[in-house]
A and B are shown apart, each in its own frame.
Chain A
Amino acid sequence: MGWAHARCGSVAEAGPGGAGEGLAVRLRQAGPIPLSVDLACAPGQLHALVGPSGAGKTTVLKAIAGLYRPQAGHITCGPAVWFDSAAGAWLPPQDRRVGMVFQSYALFPHMSAQANVETSLAHSARTERAARALALLTQVGLADKAHRRPADLSGGEQQRVAVARALARSPGVLLLDEPFAAVDRRTRRRLQQDLAELRSSLRIPILLVTHDLDEASALADQMSVLHEGQILQTGTPEEVMRRPASERVAEILDLSPGV
């Protein structure tokens, strides 16, 4: 009975590394990039990863996506084990179901918006890809611009193509690497609203990397403060801001731009 509870309960109950739903991440590494990270994110939850640049935020995302292999730790997404250094398990990015929005968006410049989205639909039938890609672009409000190339889209539109492409993967987890950094303030506000709407319809864990505390407070359920590859504190944004666990955390929160 207790076992069943632990298994079906949220990751927050099971604790980091416990078997359960959602994403559980534990990374340990002495160098070249030091890492000491424990993260848990339940389906439907948005977890913000904040910290100064060079803190290792992107490295954590890359490890989850399978683009960077740390020395030790494990990463599970629901029942799927993506990384387990003790068992020597490591799945390549192609075998994980990760939707990732890169800071640069990393759209393929020689393809239309629709073709960009279709690249992440290799798992679905060839005949269905075009319709599926168009449906995703419609969802992000870009149906009329499906045939444009990235260079002919605004920054905000490019970001939405990147989001559509990430969702095309039918991901088990959504990773957002500073997705609002490259757009102006007005666009940022609108895209943030879009993300808030999107997350209510998505039943997967969402990890948001940002150095903007306002953004983290407005969007995240949980927030972790990362410094030199180490998570110093995790809690709701309110908790962390009201009661920083150490002087270093307080310092990082004060110094972060956007406050």
Chain B
Amino acid sequence: MDWTALVLSLKLAGATTLVLLPIGVILGRVLAFHDFRGKRWVEAAITLPLVLPPTVLGYYLLIALGVASPIGQAWQALTGDTLVFSFSGLLIASVVFNLPFAIQPLQRAFEGVGQDLRHAAWVGGLSTFATFRKVELPLAWPGLLSAAVLTFTHTLGEFGVVLMVGGAIPGETRTIAVSIYDRVQAFDTAAAGIMSAFLLISAFIAIAVVYGVGARAVRLRG
């Protein structure tokens, strides 16, 4: 078991979830309640990471964050470090490729709340924020939990994008999924097996939790 890789993966998954959840709540809510020109294009762009080969996404992220890019240069001027092949670069990439996993469950959850309940709250005198806090969020929380669990476990398992953007620097960018690949390359199937089993079981539990919460929420709403 590559403990350094596991700790790094957990750190990346936790940071990604923390950064992505507020973004997911804001974007998911906007997409659920508002119609605007080009909405389909925005939705398509958010869904892209779901269907693109990770290497393709990784390639573009590498270009976008690389030392030749404006983002990469600005980062280097600010920190004196390169963005690619670093934990920070990996975090940005991780946020991008997890967009659909966070936004889609939240969008569906807010859509499920419906306009009538928000209107009823506004007419009753609740402000937009009070309506969000007292009506929208309590009803959309299964979506919030799904988004968090899916983002966390999907980050643990992502391989292609991580390898393209981060490489495999121990303690910096070598995640558990990359470490499994390295172990297999080195014919260390025992270590690869343990780590694979860990990812398999954690993913299974996560999805079971998401389905369980969904079923409970449906029962609560009658």
Contacts and interface: CB of A to CB of B under 8 A. Distances in A.
Interface of A: 62, 65-67, 92-94, 96, 98-100, 102, 104, 106-110, 119-120, 122-123, 149-152, 165, 168-169
B116 A93 contact: no
Interface residues of B, number: 19
Q: Which of A65, A100, A110, A123 has the most CB of B within 10 A?
A: A110
Contacts of B135: 108, 119
B124 interface: yes
A110 B122 contact: no
B139 A119 contact: no
B136 to A, nearest CB: 10
Interface in B151-209: none
30 contacts: A62-B119, A66-B122, A66-B123, A67-B119, A67-B122, A67-B123, A93-B119, A94-B125, A94-B126, A100-B120, A102-B116, A102-B120, A106-B116, A106-B117, A106-B119, A106-B120, A108-B117, A108-B121, A108-B134, A108-B139, A109-B220, A109-B222, A110-B221, A119-B125, A119-B126, A150-B222, A152-B222, A165-B120, A169-B124, A169-B125
Contacts of A168: 124
Contacts of B123: 65-67, 93, 96, 98-100, 169
B122 A92 contact: yes
A122 B222 contact: no
B69 interface: no
A126 B134 CA distance: 16
Given A106-B117, A122-B126, 18 more contacts: A62-B119, A65-B119, A66-B123, A92-B122, A93-B122, A94-B125, A99-B123, A100-B120, A104-B116, A108-B120, A108-B121, A108-B135, A108-B139, A109-B221, A109-B222, A110-B221, A119-B121, A150-B222
A119 B124 contact: yes
Nearest to A151: B222
A17 B123 CA distance: 23
B4 interface: no
B131 to A, nearest CB: 9
Nearest to B141: A110
B125 A122 contact: yes
A169 B121 CA distance: 11
A107 B125 CA distance: 15
B130 to A, nearest CB: 8
B70 interface: no
B76 interface: no
Contact of A151 (B126, B134, B138, B221): B221
A99 B123 CA distance: 7
A151 B119 CA distance: 20
Contacts of B138: 110
B124 A165 contact: yes
Nearest to A175: B123
Interface in B92-138: 116-117, 119-127, 130, 134-135, 138
Contacts of A165: 120, 124
B125 A120 contact: yes
Given A108-B135, A110-B139, A151-B221, A102 B125 contact: no
A119 B117 contact: no
Contacts of B121: 108, 119
A67 B128 CA distance: 13
Nearest to A104: B116
Contacts of B127: 94
